[in-house]
Chains A and B, each alone.
Chain A
């Protein structure tokens, strides 16, 4: 068990002028489950492979425990990795696959057998130890890959989208199993996924990457509630946060008939940038439906689709106020009462619940100092 530290770790692929991973700074605590998440091409897999030693580090350093491993061979790093395609050796039995690392280390046969059996019991694989990988189902193969990592008893687990080859139902099941297993073993884990739900449900902390640059690293809840920039705000959460740029008039952002009051700090920040616009975001659940006889400021939305999930219903609509060009063509997503969702085609009046808006710079995309009433 050990800490993992990325210190300005950089990787530039030959023939490319943009780094695949750009000065990544990450401090992963002992026993922590850290998830690297981002869209494809964001550098999350490269970051993991740099830690594994499978990818060169062109700048900065990486250490595991107190040891600088930046230029060590993979075999000297004391890590175990679970690959997306599991990378099970087809010519070896499940037991041989799981005991492979110990065999390479020349561990005594009795110890090897004992550790393989233990891991097999933990993962419910005891009946399959003599089988070849091709005789197993996808879920079983995935467990063998996990078992192979566990048997190694490494300092760090590295997992590269290990659930992406499973079907949806199994993936959800395995997700909790993997997370529970990691808590139980207490081994520091770096986990790569493109699925933000996986990231949110599994990680102690989540690191969001985009274009090789770390955007934010924080607990799932803080990422959700206090995204550091527009990208994180839009990436984390499903359905996504409503995000759009609005005009600032006086002390308010203008959303058609609705106006959102901005705090002094926010206004000052906008002024300092020399802009008169602000990016305002609000989550689908931060929206209230305003009755027709209610004269609260609100914006009308024409319902195009309602997704009814049973426990929730999400309304997808277009701004009905076509007079304001800032609103035209903009989609709004709102969570509505699942027992009485508005019909398709209807126009409903929505308002952002006070203090639930998130404000970002229209210039840099970074979060602006919070509004006074921020909650």
Chain B
């Protein structure tokens, strides 16, 4: 015990000093990154509680009398925000759910099939995710018009699947590839059908993958503006559309705009926080086999 204390009090070796200094550097950099990320969000949150004069004051106001007017205005009147939120929840939620279900099945197939050109197929699938939305919008619009999917939630769900599904397939197939094939083979020998083996053994082991995929797909769809602005109408407009409507020719209502921004950001942040345990293991992969 005494030697340990002595060692601690002993003058630092150069190596220790360096490691301590580099640790401080890391902390400093992280703090800067945190500021960089959080300040705009914080500013948005503060502004959403400001009245019209405070929000546009030339000297930014840190201390002010908070008001709920912006939120109250958003939820009152004929064009209140309720339906927009509902549309967003439906479109993003259903599309993320579908993406995870289909992505898990397709990803499993992709991970387990032995076939020629498998890697090319996998790359082709993820490459569709890389196409800019602008390239997809026009053909998709024509197809949707033909199918009567313009201004409908199913239309938006489908549109979001165009970018969420390839991503979900690709991510889930990476998770399934991490699960040793012998686990399923063992289940098959034990009496399972392929589906039972998938359901009882493989799927529970990729829980973090499912959660990660769902959250990311949800965020992508939730934040979408480009598809919503083209395909949605009065019956299906989402939150980002509502936000854009506040930018008018007569001016920008910054108070309400930041209030909508807050309403868009907060649920996703809460969702992320709630599942961060899985999100972290999910994003780092490798931790799924329990070995």
- Quote the shortest CB–CB distance from A86 to chain B (angstroms): 8
Residues of B within 8 Å of A85, CB to CB, are 180, 182
Further 12 A-B residue pairs, CB within 8 A, beyond A85-B180, A134-B291: A52-B189, A73-B188, A74-B189, A75-B190, A77-B189, A80-B190, A87-B183, A87-B185, A101-B190, A104-B187, A104-B191, A104-B192
Q: Is the CB of B191 within 8 A of A91?
A: no
- Whether, in the assembled complex, B80 has its beta carbon less than 8 Å from a beta carbon of chain A, the answer is no
* Residue on A nearest B202 in the bound complex, by CB: A89
Complex-state Cα separation, A15 to B116, whole angstroms: 9
Complex-state Cα separation, A134 to B288, whole angstroms: 12
Q: Is the CB of B205 within 8 A of A101?
A: no
Q: Is the CB of A75 within 8 A of B193?
A: yes
Most buried by B among A79, A84, A91, A158: A91
Q: Is the CB of A83 within 8 A of B186?
A: yes
Complex-state Cα separation, A279 to B282, whole angstroms: 60
> A-side interface residues toward B, CB under 8 Å?
14-15, 52-54, 73-75, 77, 79-81, 83-85, 87, 89-91, 100-101, 104-105, 132-134, 148, 152, 158
B194-212 with Cβ < 8 A to chain A: 196, 200-201, 204-205
- Quote the shortest CB–CB distance from A106 to chain B (angstroms): 10
- Whether, in the assembled complex, B60 has its beta carbon less than 8 Å from a beta carbon of chain A, the answer is no
Residues of B within 8 Å of A79, CB to CB, are 189
Instruction: Select one of B190, B289, B290 contacting A152, CB under 8 A.
Output: B190
Q: Is the CB of B289 within 8 A of A54?
A: no
Query: Can you list, as one digit per residue, whether each of B108-136 has a CB less than 8 Å from chain A (1) or not (0)?
Result: 00000010100000000000000000000
Q: Is the CB of A134 within 8 A of B290?
A: yes
A54-B291 in contact given A83-B182, A104-B196 (Cβ < 8 Å):
no
Q: Is the CB of B180 within 8 A of A91?
A: no
Complex-state Cα separation, A256 to B186, whole angstroms: 57
- Quote the shortest CB–CB distance from A165 to chain B (angstroms): 11
Q: Is the CB of B183 within 8 A of A105?
A: no
- Quote the shortest CB–CB distance from B163 to chain A (angstroms): 31
Q: Which 4 A-B pairs have the closest CB atoms?
A: A90-B290, A101-B190, A87-B186, A87-B182
- Quote the shortest CB–CB distance from A291 to chain B (angstroms): 58
Complex-state Cα separation, A53 to B192, whole angstroms: 13
A132-B186 in contact given A85-B180, A90-B205, A105-B191 (Cβ < 8 Å):
no
Residues of B within 8 Å of A105, CB to CB, are 191
Q: Is the CB of B182 within 8 A of A89?
A: no
- Quote the shortest CB–CB distance from B31 to chain A (angstroms): 36
Q: Is the CB of B188 within 8 A of A74?
A: yes
Residues of A within 8 Å of B204, CB to CB, are 91
Q: Is the CB of B182 within 8 A of A104?
A: no
A75-B188 in contact given A91-B204, A104-B196, A134-B290 (Cβ < 8 Å):
yes
A101-B185 in contact given A85-B180, A87-B180, A134-B290 (Cβ < 8 Å):
no
A91-B290 in contact given A83-B182, A85-B180 (Cβ < 8 Å):
yes
- Quote the shortest CB–CB distance from A19 to chain B (angstroms): 17
Q: Is the CB of A89 within 8 A of B189?
A: no
Complex-state Cα separation, A147 to B195, whole angstroms: 25
Complex-state Cα separation, A134 to B290, whole angstroms: 6
A54-B290 in contact given A101-B191, A104-B192 (Cβ < 8 Å):
no
Complex-state Cα separation, A54 to B182, whole angstroms: 10
- Quote the shortest CB–CB distance from A55 to chain B (angstroms): 10
Complex-state Cα separation, A73 to B190, whole angstroms: 11
| Pairs across A and B, CB under 8 Å, 22 listed | A15-B116, A53-B189, A54-B189, A74-B185, A74-B189, A75-B190, A77-B189, A79-B189, A81-B186, A83-B182, A84-B182, A85-B182, A87-B182, A87-B185, A89-B186, A91-B204, A91-B205, A91-B290, A101-B190, A104-B196, A134-B290, A148-B190
Complex-state Cα separation, A152 to B204, whole angstroms: 23
Complex-state Cα separation, A275 to B33, whole angstroms: 82
- Quote the shortest CB–CB distance from B211 to chain A (angstroms): 15
Residues of A within 8 Å of B193, CB to CB, are 73, 75
- Quote the shortest CB–CB distance from A187 to chain B (angstroms): 15
B246-291 with Cβ < 8 A to chain A: 289-291
Residues of A within 8 Å of B188, CB to CB, are 53-54, 73-75
Complex-state Cα separation, A74 to B290, whole angstroms: 25
